[in-house]
Amino acid sequence: MLVRFWGVRGSLPTPLSPQQIQSKIMAVVQRITADDLKSDESRARFVSNLPDWIYGTTGGNTACVELRDCDTEIILDAGSGIRALGKSKDKPKNKHYHIFFSHFHWDHIQGLPFFDDIYNPSVKIDIYSPYENARSYLEKQMTNPYLFPVGYNAFTKNITFHTLKQTDQIMVNDIKVNVCKMKHPGDSYSYSFEKNGKKIVYATDVELEPEDFVVTEDRKNVFDGADCMIIDSQYTVLDHIAKKNWGHSAFCYAVDYANFWNIKKMFIFHHEPTYNDAELNAILNTSRQYSIQVGHPELEINLAKEDTEVKV
């Protein structure tokens, strides 16, 4: 299974500001030497050795993750990142998408009207969530005055909604899917996708509490022993304390959760929109150090970044 990140921010789209770009340029200027400028090779070497937070960016689009396996195309949430996904040339040959929604807060649905393929009458889309009113939620964001004159009726007519239950285990072609309710205002749902002994977990918009560390059948089905977990790690501890009950987790709690469930690889996700690339890089490094300090050096921790992919 292949995972691609198209949107990794939480709450609202967050483009780089002019000040952030200037800061990156200043960081480059402070590091460069005369020797670095002598040749094409030395310049290329200098650039390739720059820290990731200077050379690139984490990205500013809201949540959208692609999971592809052979002819099965799964999309996790439809934040603003789904627009770029829709413009990708690497489209499923069978023109069939399976979209899973964690919940229907605006940062997770706002990109759907800008997803090109949803207007293609030959495209088929299956939409999954535990919400009985899913269609109504998607329709309302496209009514006058919010997105007039383009309405939901402009979408392909080949859309089917599937309402899931927490105890459900479904198959999407040959991929097994489990679902688990998590703590978030209005609820949010985590999913696992499993095939040939490999499991990927998508667990965004969750405020981890002690009860989440209690083993239940639904949690075990979703989280236990996953090869890869994409998890809400929006805050530092101080910000989490200040924003208690906002529905998101501090990164160290996400690390604890990954270790509790024997996760092999974890992606820090749903990044706080006020954090810049340097701050997110610091969170990544601190997360890795923390996992080592609590006795789990084996956990691989990465930062979810737009335009990156991982094979599981």
Distance CA 85, CA 187 (A): 26
- Secondary-structure class of domain 2-17+58-311 per CATH: alpha beta
Distance CA 27, CA 178 (A): 45
**pLDDT single digits (tens) 53-85:** 999 999 999 999 999 999 999 999 999 999 999
Q: Which of 260, 262, 175, 254 is nearest to 226 (CA)?
A: 262
| Residue 200 pLDDT > 90 | yes
DSSP 16: P
Question: What residue ranges in the chain does DSSP mark as E strands?
Answer: 2-7, 64-69, 72-76, 96-100, 124-129, 159-163, 169-172, 175-182, 188-195, 198-203, 228-232, 265-269, 300-303, 308-311
Neighbour-count burial of 269, counting CB atoms closer than 10 A to its CB (0-12 exposed, 13-18 middle, 19+ buried): buried
| Residue 193 pLDDT > 80 | yes
**pLDDT single digits (tens) 28-41:** 999 999 999 999 99
- pLDDT for the residue 67: 98
pLDDT confidence band for 147 (50 / 70 / 90)? confident
Distance CA 7, CA 128 (A): 19
**pLDDT single digits (tens) 218-241:** 999 999 999 999 999 999 999 999
